Structure formats: C-alpha cells, structure tokens
Structure 1
Amino acid sequence: MGIQFCTHGNLVLIVVEDADEVIELKRKKRQNLEKSLKKKTKAATEIQAWWRGTLVRRTLLHAALRAWIIQRWWRQTLVNLLQKKRREALVTYANTVRAVVKIQSLVRMWRIHWRYCQVLNAIRVIQCHWECQNCYTCALLRGHCVVTATHLQFHIEIINP
C-alpha cells in the first residue's frame, strides 16, 4: 500500500494505492497493449502477405501473357512458313506440268510432221512413177490423205475419163 500526496494550489490530494492493484493494472495494461500490438502485427502481416501475393500473381500473369504472345507469334510464323512451302510446291508442280504438256505437244507435233512428210514423199514417188508411165494421159489420179497421231491413211484413186 502506498500513500501519495499531491498539491494543486490550496487543495491537497491524498492518494492511497494498493501496490498489488497497481501492479495488476499495469500488467493488464501491458497485456492489452501486447494484444493490441499482436493484432496490429497480425493485421499488418496479413496485409503484407496479401500484397506480396498480389504482386506475385501480377508478375505471373504478365509472364504468362508474354509467353502467350510469343507462342502466338511462333504459331503464326509456322503457319506462314507452311503456306509459303505449299505455294512454292504448287508453283513447282504447275511449272513441271506446264513443261510436260509443252514437251508432249512438241513431240506430237513432230510425229505428225514426220508422218506428213512421209505422205508427201509417197505422193512424190507415186507422181514420179505415174509421170514416167506411157498412159498418164489415159487416167487421172485423185488422192486423199488422213494423218493422225497413231497411223497414216492414204487413198489413191485412178480415174479413167
């Protein structure tokens, strides 16, 4: 128990305190302060954890978006390369077909020309032999020729007037 004297002007105040009560009150105040401090520390820790989590999620989201952009670009690049290869293959195929058709056309033209030259030579031979005969005034020659890619048709008619 403690006695305390305080003077305020003409007034004297005597405070009688029980030491155990004072100690108990100080201990309760300290506990309340510690509880309050623990609550504030816990709240601050939770806020910091939430903020760090938000930062981490934001960073991961940005990284995921960047990875998605790179993947999209790469896929588009692969599609463009595939289209380019297809276009080149198509152009190569078209040029090859065009060249084959041209060669086939030239070979067919050469074969027909060769057959036509054969017919002309045959006609010249016949005309030459006919003119050498004595009776070329007795008859007339009429010829008809059909030239195809596979065969030669040649018809000669001798007409007596």
Structure 2
Amino acid sequence: MGPKVRIMRKEENKAIVSIQAWWRGTLVRRTLLHAALRAWIIQCWWKQKLVLLMENRRRVALDAFARQEWAVVKLQSWVRMWCIRLRYLRLLHAVRIIQVYWRWHSCHTRGFIQGHYDLKENQLNLQLEISLGSQACRVQQCIPLPIKE
C-alpha cells in the first residue's frame, strides 16, 4: 500500500466516520423527538385531567353555595310569612271584635234581614225574616218563573 492509498483510506475513514456520526445524530434526534412528543402528549393529558378536576371542584362549590343560598332564601320567606301571618291574625281578631259589636249594635237599634231562596223547576220560593228591634216580620212567597218549552 502506497502513501496515496493510505491517504485515500484516511479520507474514506473520515467520510465514513462523518456519515456514521450524522446518522447517529439523526437517530438520536429522532429518538429525542419521539420522547419529547410522548412527554408532550402526557403533559396535555395531565392538563386535561387537572382542568376536569378543577371544573368538578368548582361545580361542587357552586352547588354547595346554591344550596346554601336557597336554604337562606327559604328560611327568610318562612320568617316573613310567619310575621305576616301573625299580623294578619291580630287584624282578623280585631275585625271580629269590631264585627261582633257592630252586629250587636245593628240588631238592637236598626234590625236585620235574613232569608234564603230555593229555585225549583219553574218557581222561586223566597223566605225572608225582617227584625226591627222587638218586632219581627216573616215573608214567604212563591214566584212562578215563565219558562218557554
């Protein structure tokens, strides 16, 4: 082997080594790219899981808040209803007292009218009782109704 052959072999070896280095670098870069893609996929999945977890926590907190607000509103409405009912009952009691005295006064000074009626087939039966102090008057009357057949 001559010096030219050795030089060519050295150059070939350098070329072979550089091709091998390039190929190994390509393989390493490809492997790193695949690893980075897989890591990115795992990170995306984990971020989605965290978002779902936070959304569930938010929903639970919102539901608890809504239930608490509903309970407060319901309790307030019951208390208001109770207060209004008490006021209504006091007023009703006062009205009944006034009515009793007014009716007693009306019966003893002016009198009153009571009565009822029955509607049967083609006649009206009317019964009235009129009281004026100690005097009483009863009226009964049957009124025929003109019904065309």
| Correspondence 1:121 to 2:89 | no
Say whether residues 1:70 and 2:42 are aligned partners: yes
| Residue 29 (structure 2) aligns with | 57
**Which has the higher Rg, Structure 1 or Structure 2?**
1
**Percent identity over the alignment?**
52
Write the mapping of 1:10-159 to structure 2, written as runs, cut at 5 A. Answer: 30-127=2-99, 130=101, 137-138=108-109
CA drift at 1:95:
1.3
SS of 1:53's partner is helix
Taking the aligned partners of 2:88 and 2:98, their CA distance within structure 1 comes to 15
SS in structure 2 at match of 1:137 = helix
1:100 Cα deviation (Å)?
1.4
Displacement of 1:54 in angstroms is 0.6
RMSD across aligned C-alpha pairs, in angstroms? 2.4
Gaps of 5+ in 1: 1-28, 141-161
Question: CA distance change for structure 1 residues 48 and 127 in 2, over 3 Å: closer, same or farther?
Answer: same
SS of equivalent to 2:108: coil
Indicate how the Cα distance of structure 1 residues 135 and 76 shifts in structure 2: closer, same or farther if over 3 A, else same. closer
* Amino acid in the other structure paired with 1:116: Y
Corresponding pairs, count: 111
Map Cα deviations across residues 21-63 of structure 1 (whole Å, 9 max, x no partner): xxxxxxxx51011012111111110111011101110111111
How many Å apart are 1:75 and its aligned residue?
1.3
Offset at 1:118? 1.1
Residues of 2 paired with 1:31 and 1:63: CA distance? Answer: 47
Q: What code does the residue aligned with 1:138 have?
A: T
The CA distance in 1 between the partners of 2:55 and 2:110, in whole Å, is: 73
Cα distance in 2 for residues equivalent to 1:76 and 1:51: 37
Deviates more, 1:59-68 or 1:113-122: 113-122
Q: TM-score, normalised by structure 2?
A: 0.64
For structure 2, list consecutive stretches of 5 or more residues without a partner in the other structure: 112-149
TM-score, normalised to structure 1, is 0.60
TM-aligned CA deviation for residue 120 of structure 1:
2.4
Deviation (angstroms), 1:72: 0.9
Q: For 1:134 and 1:115, how far apart are their aligned partners in 2?
A: 27
